[in-house]
Amino acid sequence: MPFTWLIDSMANNKELRFRKLKKNRLWVSILFLTLFTVIAHALLILFVSYFFFHLIDQKLQNEYDRVAYVARLYEDGKLLSVQGRSDSYLILDANGQILEEHGKDTRADISGYISMSGVEDPVTVYPDREQAFITILDSGIAFVDIPEIYRFLKQDPEESVLLQLLDENKSIDMPVWISVPMDQGRAYVGKANFTVYTKDVIVLLIFAAAMALMIFVILLIMLISIINHFSHQRKLISVFFTDEVTGAHNWMWMLIRGEQMLKKRSNASKNYAILNILFMEYRNFCVCHSIAEGEAMLYKVDRTIANDLRRNEMSAHCSSASFAVLMQYNTQEQLKQRIEELVGRLEKIDRTHRFAYKVGACLLEPERENGKIVRRRHINIEEAYNNACAARDSLPDGEESGIAFFDETLVEEQRWIDSVRERQESALQNEEFVVYYQPKYDPKTHELRGAEALVRWDSKDLGFVPPGRFIPIFEKNGFIPKIDHYMLEHVAADQKRWLDEGLSCVPVSVNISRAHFIESDLAEQILRIVDSVGTPHELIELEVTESAFFDDKKAMIDTINRLKGYGFAVSMDDFGSGYSSLNSLKDMPLDVLKLDAEFFRGNTQDGRGEIVVAEAVKLAKNLHMRTVAEGVEIKEQVDFLAELGCDMIQGYYFAKPMPKDEYVTRLQNKQDENTTNTI
């Protein structure tokens, strides 16, 4: 697939980190701040109320003690000798009737019970009719009415008791009638004055202000912390979604935001396509110029793509020279035209260079349930982008721009590649690979002079697989060297067995892929394989492709020289298919030159093809090399090559690649002919 496991792993790790980042949600901090605010205010009210009621309790306790003291004096007959604060009191009998009254009776008609911390039993109190800051509930419980006290203190500004209390060193009296039990069921009810001093108000205000200030400071610190946390998180997310090269959005932004956008209800009925745009030859540009200039070009590419986008479309720089684009379209033809226009603009982003771009596209049509378009729920941006990359990979090699759309044929091809990869090792162990032999004949005498070993795959699961279906896969995934060894082992074993059976064997050429030439001991590996079965070296010919010459020239020449020293013949396969064939011949000590089949195809009426072939055969003879013509299919070609002095012909005119048994029959026929000629 276009993404390697390493890129997949990095993407997954980034997504995991983003999810962890998102888990650190702001609402948790806000909820905590709200809860703290509510609890702090409740505690403020609770502490202030506790302090206030404690103050009231102490003052009521003091007044109760004074009234109780006066009541005891009254019982002892000493009241007249005491100078009390209150000159109003009542003596009530057991039925609540007034036995004696002194001063003005301003009691309310109802009484209640109020608890004091210094008195064991609840104390009976009467509110004052003129200033009733004591309220009696229906249950008979009395309590201090704070709102009434506030209304009493906060009057008209000119007469405000609170203002006077704060502005002047005064005390304010609020009356309440307190009942103290005496003997014979009587009760002494004295008028007490609940006195509020300036210092009481100041202490209360200071306490409340201190509590409020402390809560405010804590809330302010928490609020600043939340704001900083929110700002820090926004910066982290911004960095997480920013590409280091272009400064714009990166792949993770496309992966997450793209899925969010596609899942919107408003986009359910719209057609989208995800594109993979590859900036061709980017690395070569960096080599020729600099990485900084290359990154500047990537920035221009990113800006050009972004400027082409419309509403509800997005793009991102993914990796190296790849860009992902989420584009809306109406028809596939309209989408292709728009992509071509975009590629045309990208090709001209620099005045001195003309760049090429390969584009793969994966279409994302609306989701349907029971024929009805529904909101997208099964969106996988990464999978769609991989499909777009697969479509781009299907474009032919080269430096030209191109566009490809993902379809089921690509899926089937990828499945085929996966199935081949899954079975290649077991196929090798089970010897499912079969050696086919294609004979080579002398064009003059039509005598069998050699053969080429070709691999076929007779799979238990896949059936008979032609080489074009698996060899390219093996070349890409690095399995081809094992096939080369396998073929060499089987060909050497076949040649030895046929010799032992008395057959007149001819040299068989075995292909050695270019991947082998990175191994410094390749010649020794081949020697060990052939010698392990005792096959004469002159019966094994090794074919190398011309393209291998351009990987490591020195290593290849050294390997060829060692092979020739061991007695093996070496041939160049597909001569003429490359661009530097003459240069290859100049340096490589080859034994056989195989002319590419393309020399014998196409229109040759003007004689140009014959001239090239004739000169190639002549060149080989001058270099003391034998020639083999591949792909010969008609008699005229055979006659022409025979006239030129070509040594061998390989092609359908004489024989197709054949199984081992058929090839053995040809060897036997050759031997019979030789025997007849000898007789």
656 band by pLDDT with thresholds 50, 70 and 90? very high
The domain locations on the chain are 251-406, 416-667
Mean pLDDT of all residues in 46-63: 78
Give dist(CA 594, CA 581) in Å, integer: 12
Residues linked to residue 366 through DSSP beta bridges, in sequence order: none
Mean pLDDT of all residues in 559-567: 92
Give dist(CA 59, CA 189) in Å, integer: 17
Instruction: Label residue 239 exposed, middle or buried (CB < 10 Å: 0-12, 13-18, 19+).
Output: exposed
The answer to whether 616 and 576 have CB atoms below 8 angstroms apart is yes
Residues in Cβ contact with 280 at an 8 Å cutoff, skipping those fewer than 6 apart: 321, 355, 356, 357, 358, 399, 401
> Best-predicted range by mean pLDDT among 25-39, 73-87, 152-166, 454-468?
454-468
Mean pLDDT of all residues in 189-202: 76
| CA distance between the termini of the chain | 64
Give dist(CA 495, CA 671) in Å, integer: 15
pLDDT tens for each residue of 7-28: 444 445 545 555 555 555 566 6
Give dist(CA 404, CA 360) in Å, integer: 5
Residues in Cβ contact with 581 at an 8 Å cutoff, skipping those fewer than 6 apart: 546, 575
pLDDT tens for each residue of 419-429: 999 999 999 99
* Cβ neighbours, 10 Å, residue 100: 12
Give dist(CA 593, CA 626) in Å, integer: 6
Give dist(CA 405, CA 336) in Å, integer: 9
For residue 186, pLDDT beyond 80: yes
pLDDT tens for each residue of 343-389: 999 988 888 888 899 999 999 888 888 878 888 887 888 889 999 99
| Residue 646 confidence (pLDDT) | 92
* Distance set, CA 297 to CA 344, 349, 350, 563, 608 (Å): 15, 8, 8, 49, 45
Give dist(CA 358, CA 643) in Å, integer: 48
Parallel, antiparallel, or unpaired: how do β-strands 626-630 and 592-595 relate?
A: parallel
Which of 380, 388, 325 has its CA nearest to residue 15?
380
Which of 510, 481, 485 has its CA nearest to residue 495?
510
| Residue 368 confidence (pLDDT) | 81
| Residue 563 confidence (pLDDT) | 92
The answer to whether 126 and 189 have CB atoms below 8 angstroms apart is yes
Give dist(CA 494, CA 376) in Å, integer: 62
Residue tagged 């206030």 (tokens): 52
Give dist(CA 406, CA 363) in Å, integer: 7
Which of 280, 279, 276, 234 has its CA nearest to residue 251?
276
Q: What's the CATH code, domain 416-667?
A: 3.20.20.450
* Distance set, CA 651 to CA 10, 442, 596, 640 (Å): 51, 12, 11, 14
The answer to whether 500 and 534 have CB atoms below 8 angstroms apart is no
* Cβ neighbours, 10 Å, residue 10: 15
The answer to whether 168 and 187 have CB atoms below 8 angstroms apart is no
Give dist(CA 520, CA 539) in Å, integer: 24
Give dist(CA 615, CA 210) in Å, integer: 108
Q: What is the DSSP letter of 249?
A: B
CB under 8 A, 24+ apart: contacts of 178-183: 178/60, 178/63, 178/64, 178/67, 178/123, 178/124, 178/125, 178/126, 179/92, 179/111, 179/123, 179/124, 179/125, 179/126, 180/64, 180/67, 180/68, 180/71, 182/71, 182/74, 182/75, 182/91, 183/75
The answer to whether 436 and 464 have CB atoms below 8 angstroms apart is no
| Residue 678 confidence (pLDDT) | 45
**Could you give the count of Cα atoms lying within 13 Å of 152 in the half-sphere of its Cβ?**
17
| Residue 457 confidence (pLDDT) | 94
Which of 284, 258, 383 has its CA nearest to residue 2?
383
CATH topology for the 251-406 domain:
Alpha-Beta Plaits (3.30.70)
pLDDT tens for each residue of 500-552: 998 989 999 999 888 777 788 889 999 999 999 999 999 999 998 766 665 66
CA 112 vs. chain centroid, Å, equals 74
Three-class SS of residue 54? helix
Backbone angle region of 463, left / alpha / beta, with phi > 0 → left and psi within -120 to 50 → alpha: left
For residue 463, pLDDT beyond 60: yes
Give dist(CA 358, CA 347) in Å, integer: 11
For the chain, what is the largest distance between any 2 Cα atoms, rounded to a whole number of angstroms? 174
Residues linked to residue 91 through DSSP beta bridges, in sequence order: 100, 188
240 band by pLDDT with thresholds 50, 70 and 90? confident
The answer to whether 234 and 306 have CB atoms below 8 angstroms apart is no
Three-class SS of residue 455? strand
| Residue 82 confidence (pLDDT) | 44
Which pTM value belongs to this model? Answer: 0.59
What phi and psi, each to the nearest 5 degrees, are found at residue 353? Answer: -130, 145
